[in-house]
Chains A and B, each alone.
Chain A
Amino acid sequence: MRGSGGAVSGVVVHLPRGSGGADGGEPHGDAVTLRLGPGEVARFGRGSMAIPVELRLADRAISRLAGEIRVTDDHWQLTNHSTTHSYLVENPEGAGEYLRVPPRRVGAPIPFEFSRVVLPTRGDVTISFQVFAPDHLYLDPDAMGVPWGNSTVTAYSLNETATYFLVLVALCEPRLRDQSRVAVPTTPQIVERLREHPTCGALTARAVSSHIDYLAEEKLRIGGPDSHEPDRRNGKREEIVGLALRFGLVREEHLVLLPPPAAAGGRERQAAR
């Protein structure tokens, strides 16, 4: 097996439920998640006994071996085994930003932290899967203007333009504003708080939850691989907020990323709805 379990750095490949599954036209496979460390490869395609793939895509239009993902440095490369079709790699947080990987291209480097790889099919629906590259590194804000090389950096750096960061700021907001030990907001409260945001106003509760999971598991690697008990969900949010504030990952200056706070009494109004 090429992927290994546990919170290993590298990339995470996620195939949603219903895209994979058994060969021969049965379209409802379970969701698949693969973790790949640096240097590891995952092949994708329809697969067969002779051409095994790590990521099986059940569509007749997709070849047995459609492509390969290879993790290198802090990013990944896409090889397109198709002789006729380009693959699209979209950045779901990039306002339409995408890359086109032409047929037979070997090892095209993919710069996005979040990617959706889209493969054409004969029908109207495309097949896609997601690739996350959480190891991207960002310089410390207070270390700017100093040559980057052998400097000491924060090892858990965050992309302050990413949606997960916005969610994190919203999680930290009550404590940043009054520094008291008020409760960390719930997912519905976050959804409500971000509703007026120009680009992230439509975030669903499910999306907010998965951003929180991504922060906990891939960015901060809270608790390590042994502590994935399902009943720690509330503790996890508290922990994320505690760490983000303690280590200065979220600071007062980040509050401007949030929509202007509702007028006094906003909370009560929401609660009444």
Chain B
Amino acid sequence: MRPPHGAGGTAEHDRTDLLPPGYQVGDWVVTHRIGSGGWSTVYAARPADGRPDGTGGTATPPGLADVALKIMPTAGLAPRQTRRIVESARREVELGRRAGHPRLIGLLESLVLSAPDRPSLEGAIVLVMERAAGSLRELVDAGVPEADRGRLIAGICEGLAHLHRSGWVHADLKPENVLLGRDHSVKLSDFGLATELTGTHGYAPPMGTLDYFPPERWRAPLGELGVRVRPTADIWALGIVIHEVFASGRSPFAGATSVARGAAVQEYGEGRAPLRMDHAVPPFWRALAADCLAPTHDARAPHTAESLLARIAAHQARPQAGSGRLGGRARTAALATALCGIAGAALYSDAVRTTSAASPGREDAPTPGTIRVYNAEQDCRERVDRNPRCSLGLAIDPMLPYTAENVVPTRVWHGDVLTADCQMAGGEPIIDEEDRRSTRWFRVRLPAGSEPPTAWLPAVRTRERSALLDCH
């Protein structure tokens, strides 16, 4: 495994371009090196003496004035390599300027280093960023305290929801890039690959971290603008991170190397291998991770960061939340309150699914199953906007003709996961757009307060074969 940041002396790297403590960069003084990445080194720094407190307009409370300097050398590089680094810095600056948020690491300023005494660093690009206390990787390596896990994942979800809402894809989400404040607050970082969406997708440089690539990424073509990424790529990476947080850093995909695990991801993506998650992951989080790790973009698309956040909030808000686990109850309740606003906003579009997620489910004796809605029209499968044209109905009575009078007001969309009580075989025959015919129906639960409380989904509207009991 990767050593924690800061471990591993400089000797093994044999780098001549490292800055000593006390070195002044702009208005900042280097205190120590935090870590080195592919083409950057990050240092801790404090304001230089005589610098007035507060960085420009930003009121910096005392004690939080420490910053991180991300230094990207450009000296000695060919123009094309420099362009790549400038491009990466530009993405960070652009995102910092336009999409700031408490869950994203703050960018204070960017500057170009003038270091005549150190030719290797002359002209290096410096990003001055909010200083974090550590990364989720360090916490995962050390073991994430049980009470903190849900809160951390909710924090990542908040960051992603904000990014996606602002029209960006992170494109390199991993525990190394999830930083933690001193209070363990979550801050997403490293937006060097972050991409602004144009329509449904954006283009990222052809880089990334293999362990967090969704199946489709392994065969993605390289285009003039880079490789196509969509928010569902971040959702996949989130699924891996959730698993790592609960399973001591293990990926859900087996293999000794990231290339081997990538091969396992592809086998799963092509339907030749099931998803095998660690039993250490509790049922709610396992279901959540499984949705994040749905094998295709289409299947993942309904599980937006916002809808996942709503499910987490609903889960944490359950009266028994935290029971069976030691501690963390008060903290969980506070989190749920904090999330209420967001959850409320998302619930309207997510009513059916939230119900299924909020129902304690698995612990109940007659286990209700879940079924995923399938829309036979391909262009509807590709949409995530819950367009009315792509909505599907649920019948009040499966024995009566499936007409407008026999349909409940609640609509469902492709990819929705419904809680199903039971099934019946001899209902009204339904033929779908692909000429599949079935007389089988599933009784599904409607959002709390609906009248009637249940309705019927025709079996042609799902591709899953369910082991539900017969109704009655």
Check B260 against A73 for contact (C-beta < 8 Å): yes
Q: A243 in the interface, Cβ–Cβ < 8 Å? A: yes
- Select which of B81, B263, B273 is within 8 A of A73 by beta carbon: B263
Check B37 against A39 for contact (C-beta < 8 Å): no
Check B209 against A150 for contact (C-beta < 8 Å): yes
Check A142 against B267 for contact (C-beta < 8 Å): no
The size bracket of the interface on A is 35 or more
Check A38 against B267 for contact (C-beta < 8 Å): yes
The interface stretch among A1-9, A12-20, A182-190 is A1-9
The interface stretch among A46-54, A87-95, A193-201, A248-256 is A248-256
Q: Which residue of chain A lies nearest to B227 when distances are taken between CB atoms in the complex?
A: A155
B47 to chain A, nearest CB (A): 29
Check A73 against B37 for contact (C-beta < 8 Å): no
A46 to chain B, nearest CB (A): 27
Q: A156 in the interface, Cβ–Cβ < 8 Å? A: yes
The interface stretch among B214-222, B397-405, B420-428 is B214-222
Check B2 against A150 for contact (C-beta < 8 Å): yes
Interface residues of A in 103-138 (CB under 8 A from B): 135, 137
The interface stretch among B106-114, B123-131, B200-208, B444-452 is B200-208
With a cutoff of 8 Å between Cβ atoms, the chain A residues found around residue B8 in the complex are 147
User: Assuming A152-B209, A247-B206, is B227 touching A146 (CB within 8 A)?
Assistant: no
Check B224 against A8 for contact (C-beta < 8 Å): no
The interface stretch among A21-29, A77-85, A221-229, A264-272 is A221-229
Check B263 against A74 for contact (C-beta < 8 Å): yes
Bound state CA distance, A72 and B254, in angstroms? 12
Check B13 against A146 for contact (C-beta < 8 Å): yes
Bound state CA distance, A241 and B176, in angstroms? 34
Check A242 against B36 for contact (C-beta < 8 Å): no
User: Assuming A38-B266, A146-B13, is B81 touching A251 (CB within 8 A)?
Assistant: yes
Interface residues of B in 315-344 (CB under 8 A from A): none
Check A73 against B259 for contact (C-beta < 8 Å): yes
- Select which of A4, A152, A252 is within 8 A of B207 by beta carbon: A152
Bound state CA distance, A220 and B209, in angstroms? 17
Q: A61 in the interface, Cβ–Cβ < 8 Å? A: no
Bound state CA distance, A150 and B137, in angstroms? 10
Check A154 against B207 for contact (C-beta < 8 Å): yes
Bound state CA distance, A246 and B203, in angstroms? 14
Q: A143 in the interface, Cβ–Cβ < 8 Å? A: yes
Q: A30 in the interface, Cβ–Cβ < 8 Å? A: no
Bound state CA distance, A155 and B13, in angstroms? 24
Q: B27 in the interface, Cβ–Cβ < 8 Å? A: no
- Select which of A10, A71, A152 is within 8 A of B37 by beta carbon: A152
User: Assuming A153-B208, A251-B80, is B224 touching A243 (CB within 8 A)?
Assistant: yes
- Select which of B15, B176, B272 is within 8 A of A40 by beta carbon: B272
Check B80 against A143 for contact (C-beta < 8 Å): no
Check B222 against A147 for contact (C-beta < 8 Å): no
Q: Which residue of chain B lies nearest to A139 when distances are taken between CB atoms in the complex?
A: B38
User: Assuming A39-B273, A147-B2, A155-B207, is B257 touching A221 (CB within 8 A)?
Assistant: no
Bound state CA distance, A220 and B264, in angstroms? 21
With a cutoff of 8 Å between Cβ atoms, the chain B residues found around residue A152 in the complex are 37-38, 172, 192-193, 207-209
Q: B223 in the interface, Cβ–Cβ < 8 Å? A: yes
Q: A230 in the interface, Cβ–Cβ < 8 Å? A: no
User: Assuming A150-B209, A152-B207, is B224 touching A246 (CB within 8 A)?
Assistant: yes
Q: B146 in the interface, Cβ–Cβ < 8 Å? A: no
- Select which of A39, A143, A150, A243 is within 8 A of B267 by beta carbon: A39
Bound state CA distance, A252 and B77, in angstroms? 10
With a cutoff of 8 Å between Cβ atoms, the chain A residues found around residue B267 in the complex are 37-39
With a cutoff of 8 Å between Cβ atoms, the chain A residues found around residue B220 in the complex are 221
Bound state CA distance, A220 and B36, in angstroms? 29
A77 to chain B, nearest CB (A): 12
Q: B174 in the interface, Cβ–Cβ < 8 Å? A: yes
Check B3 against A147 for contact (C-beta < 8 Å): yes
Interface residues of B in 198-255 (CB under 8 A from A): 205-211, 213, 217-224, 226-227, 255
Check A142 against B39 for contact (C-beta < 8 Å): yes
Check A37 against B270 for contact (C-beta < 8 Å): yes
Q: Which residue of chain B lies nearest to A145 when distances are taken between CB atoms in the complex?
A: B13
Q: B84 in the interface, Cβ–Cβ < 8 Å? A: yes
- Select which of B38, B78, B270 is within 8 A of A151 by beta carbon: B38
User: Assuming A152-B172, A153-B208, A248-B81, is B221 touching A7 (CB within 8 A)?
Assistant: yes
Bound state CA distance, A9 and B270, in angstroms? 11
Check B38 against A142 for contact (C-beta < 8 Å): yes
Q: B14 in the interface, Cβ–Cβ < 8 Å? A: yes
- Select which of A7, A73, A137, A150 is within 8 A of B211 by beta carbon: A150
Q: B467 in the interface, Cβ–Cβ < 8 Å? A: no
Q: Which residue of chain A lies nearest to B190 when distances are taken between CB atoms in the complex?
A: A152
With a cutoff of 8 Å between Cβ atoms, the chain B residues found around residue A10 in the complex are 266
With a cutoff of 8 Å between Cβ atoms, the chain B residues found around residue A135 in the complex are 259
Check B259 against A74 for contact (C-beta < 8 Å): yes
Bound state CA distance, A150 and B178, in angstroms? 13
Check A73 against B266 for contact (C-beta < 8 Å): no
A234 to chain B, nearest CB (A): 16
Interface string of B29-50 (1 = CB under 8 A from A): 0000000111100000000000
With a cutoff of 8 Å between Cβ atoms, the chain A residues found around residue B193 in the complex are 152
Interface residues of B in 95-136 (CB under 8 A from A): none
With a cutoff of 8 Å between Cβ atoms, the chain B residues found around residue A154 in the complex are 206-207
With a cutoff of 8 Å between Cβ atoms, the chain A residues found around residue B224 in the complex are 239, 242-243, 246
**The 8 nearest A-B residue pairs measured at CB:** A38-B263, A143-B38, A224-B221, A149-B2, A221-B221, A39-B267, A73-B260, A220-B222
> Could you list 20 further interchain pairs (A-B, Cβ under 8 angstroms) beyond the known A37-B270, A137-B259, A152-B207?
A6-B219, A38-B263, A72-B263, A73-B263, A135-B259, A145-B12, A150-B2, A150-B211, A152-B38, A152-B192, A154-B207, A155-B206, A155-B207, A155-B227, A156-B222, A243-B223, A246-B80, A247-B205, A248-B80, A251-B80
19 interchain pairs, CB-CB under 8 A: A8-B270, A10-B266, A38-B263, A38-B264, A39-B263, A73-B257, A74-B263, A137-B210, A145-B12, A145-B14, A145-B15, A146-B13, A151-B38, A152-B172, A152-B208, A155-B206, A221-B220, A224-B221, A252-B78
